[in-house]
Amino acid sequence: MAYQLNTQIQSSTLYLDSTNCVSRSPYFKYELATAVTCPTGTRMLLSVIGASIPNVINNVTEYNNKLSFQYNTGAGVVIFTITVSVGIYSAWTFASYLNSYFVENGRDITCIYDHSKFKYTFISTRAFNILNIDPQFPTTCSHLIGVAKNSNNEYVFPILAGNPLYTLVMPSTINFISTPFIFLKINNIPLSNINSRGNINDTLIRIPVNAEYGQMIQYRPAELNRFLIQRSDINTVEIRLEDIHNNPLAIPSGVEIQCIFKFEYIYPSEPRAIDEGTIAHFFKQNPIVEVEEEDEIGAI
94: which residues sit within 8 A by CB, 6+ positions away?
A: 60, 84, 144, 176
* pLDDT class of 177 with cuts at 50, 70, 90: very high
* DSSP code string of 77-88: EEEEEEEPPSB-
46 and 14 Cβ atoms separated by less than 8 Å: no
Tell me the one-letter amino acid at 266. Answer: I
**Model pTM greater than 0.95?**
no
3-state secondary structure of 286: coil
Q: What is the dihedral of CA 144, 150, 152, 153, to 10 degrees?
A: 20
Q: How far apart are CA 12 and CA 14, in angstroms?
A: 7
Give CATH 2.60.120.550 domain extents, the chain: 12-56+182-266
* Comparison of pLDDT for 41 and 31, the residue scoring more: 31
Q: How far apart are CA 205 and CA 212, in angstroms?
A: 21
Give the pLDDT score at 271.
66
* pLDDT class of 128 with cuts at 50, 70, 90: very high
Q: CATH for 12-56+182-266?
A: 2.60.120.550
Give the pLDDT score at 292.
65
Whether residue 21 is predicted with pLDDT greater than 70 in this model: the reply is yes
* pLDDT class of 1 with cuts at 50, 70, 90: low
Whether residue 297 is predicted with pLDDT greater than 60 in this model: the reply is no
The CA-atom distances, in angstroms, between 273 and each of 136, 228, 270, 280, 285 are 57, 20, 10, 11, 11
